[in-house]
């Protein structure tokens, strides 16, 4: 691992990118410190890949600046400071996996031993296999091996577990954790809150080309665990309902009551017991986007900067 004395592993400032009428990235600012493990979480088309590609210098932004370790992305890549697994991109067809790893290692200023990388990425038994005869999951593991070869300080992974089965996913994340445990930086994109929750220290939610929330995983998890309980309750008393166990917020609109709660089971039991006249009771998971948006409100919990 190269020692790079710079405060930010990743710095994106005012990044915008349009494709014709489509605004893929609508003004993203993002700083990631060394040693952070960050999930870029967002739905299809949110702008994750575009952001990642700009971060890596593979696409030029319309406006804004991207730096890795205080330098231009391409310079950081050439220095072997950055390894990436991209969502698109083919492995050179016809080559054998071992040959491919050897060739790419030769381009790296400070490569790791191929055997070690193959072991870490779970491709040790694939070295003699041709790259065009790999399954989707195997090819993805080879891409991971290629990303690790240069012994990078920063790993950028765009939906790295797409196509991996459960066991491969688990092994993959164990390797990433091992990588991060040495104080290195990881940024990965995903659609899955569970994956972000399990792996990342920090979650950045991106939606329609913007960062709509950015906070510690613990805070995001708490928000995402929230439920809403709705019911019809004539003459509802907002203050009394706020005393229901687990309730964090109560809205009353005429006979319609909405209780946000961190413990819907307890809330529901107390509601049914204490208010037998309540009807049309519904419990729903708070929408993830709502949870994230709640984080960005001015009255959001203080620990979420």
In the complex, the residues that contact ligand ATP under the rule CB under 6 A are 19, 22, 24, 42, 44-50, 87, 191
- Long-range contacts of 13-16, Cβ-Cβ distance < 8 Å, separation of 24 or more: 13/64, 13/65, 13/66, 14/63, 14/64, 14/65, 15/51, 15/54, 15/61, 15/63, 15/64, 15/65, 15/66, 16/61, 16/62, 16/63, 16/64
> Toward ligand ATP, which CB reaches closer, 58 or 134?
58
| 241-270: contacts with Mg ion (CB under 5 A) | none
Kind plus residue range of the DSSP H or E element containing 290: helix 288-296
Tell the smallest beta-carbon distance from residue 56 to Mg ion (Å): 13
Tell the smallest beta-carbon distance from residue 23 to ligand ATP (Å): 8
Structure-token pair, residue 89: 């991109």
Instruction: Specify the 3-state DSSP secondary structure of 214.
Output: strand
Tell the smallest beta-carbon distance from residue 32 to ligand ATP (Å): 18
**Residues 50 and 210: beta-carbon distance below 8 Å:** no
**Residues 64 and 30: beta-carbon distance below 8 Å:** no
Calpha distance 169→160 (Å, rounded)? 9
> Toward Mg ion, which CB reaches closer, 49 or 175?
49
If binding is defined by CB under 5 A, does position 51 make contact with Mg ion? no
Q: Select from Mg ion, ligand ATP, none the partner in contact with residue 88, using the beta carbon and a kind-dependent cut-off of 5 to 8 Å.
A: none
> Toward ligand ATP, which CB reaches closer, 52 or 112?
52
Chain center to CA of 237: 41
> Toward ligand ATP, which CB reaches closer, 50 or 175?
50
Judged by CB under 5 A, the stretch of 13-21, 49-57, 68-76, 291-299 that binds Mg ion is 49-57
**Residues 28 and 12: beta-carbon distance below 8 Å:** yes
> Toward ligand ATP, which CB reaches closer, 49 or 217?
49
Calpha distance 233→14 (Å, rounded)? 48
Q: Which of 11, 49, 51, 217 binds Mg ion (CB under 5 A)?
A: 49
**In terms of C-beta density within 10 A (0-12 exposed, 13-18 middle, 19 or more buried), how is residue 121 classed?**
buried
Tell the smallest beta-carbon distance from residue 25 to ligand ATP (Å): 7
* Beta bridge partners of residue 130, listed in sequence order: 96
Calpha distance 11→33 (Å, rounded)? 9
Tell the smallest beta-carbon distance from residue 150 to Mg ion (Å): 23
Tell the smallest beta-carbon distance from residue 144 to ligand ATP (Å): 18
> Toward Mg ion, which CB reaches closer, 88 or 273?
88
> Toward ligand ATP, which CB reaches closer, 155 or 241?
155
| 75-114: contacts with Mg ion (CB under 5 A) | 87
> Toward ligand ATP, which CB reaches closer, 49 or 138?
49
Calpha distance 70→258 (Å, rounded)? 48
Q: Select from ligand ATP, Mg ion, none the partner in contact with residue 260, using the beta carbon and a kind-dependent cut-off of 5 to 8 Å.
A: none
* Total binding residues toward Mg ion, as defined by CB under 5 A: 3
Tell the smallest beta-carbon distance from residue 48 to ligand ATP (Å): 3
Tell the smallest beta-carbon distance from residue 17 to ligand ATP (Å): 8
In the complex, the residues that contact Mg ion under the rule CB under 5 A are: 48-49, 87
């Amino acid at each position: 691992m190269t020692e790079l004395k710079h405060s930010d592993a990743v710095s994106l400032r005012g990044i915008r990118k349009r494709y014709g009428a489509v605004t893929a990235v609508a003004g993203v600012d993002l700083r990631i410190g060394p040693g952070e493990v960050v999930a870029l979480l967002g739905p299809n088309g949110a702008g994750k890949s575009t952001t990642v590609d700009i971060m890596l210098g593979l696409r030029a932004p319309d406006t804004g600046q991207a730096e890795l370790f205080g330098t231009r992305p391409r310079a950081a890549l050439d220095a072997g400071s950055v390894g990436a697994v991209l969502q698109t991109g083919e492995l050179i067809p016809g080559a054998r996996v071992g040959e491919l790893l050897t060739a790419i290692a030769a381009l790296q200023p400070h490569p790791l031993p191929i055997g070690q990388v193959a072991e870490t990425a779970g491709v040790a038994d694939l070295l003699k296999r041709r790259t065009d005869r790999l399954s989707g999951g195997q090819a993805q593991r080879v891409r991971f091996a290629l990303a690790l070869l240069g012994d990078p300080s920063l790993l950028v992974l765009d939906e790295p577990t797409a196509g991996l089965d459960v066991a491969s996913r688990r092994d993959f994340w164990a390797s990433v954790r091992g990588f991060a445990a040495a104080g290195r930086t990881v940024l990965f994109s995903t659609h899955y809150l569970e994956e972000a929750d399990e792996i990342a220290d920090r979650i950045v939610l991106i939606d329609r080309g913007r960062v709509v929330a950015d906070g510690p995983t613990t805070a995001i998890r708490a928000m995402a665990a929230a439920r809403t309980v709705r019911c019809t309750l004539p003459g509802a008393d907002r203050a009394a309902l706020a005393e229901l166990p687990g309730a964090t917020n109560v809205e009353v609109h005429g006979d319609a009551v909405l209780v946000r709660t961190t413990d819907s089971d307890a809330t529901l039991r107390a509601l049914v017991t204490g208010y037998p006249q309540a009807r049309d009771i519904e419990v729903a998971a708070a929408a993830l986007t709502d949870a994230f948006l709640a984080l960005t409100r001015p009255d959001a919990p203080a620990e979420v900067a």
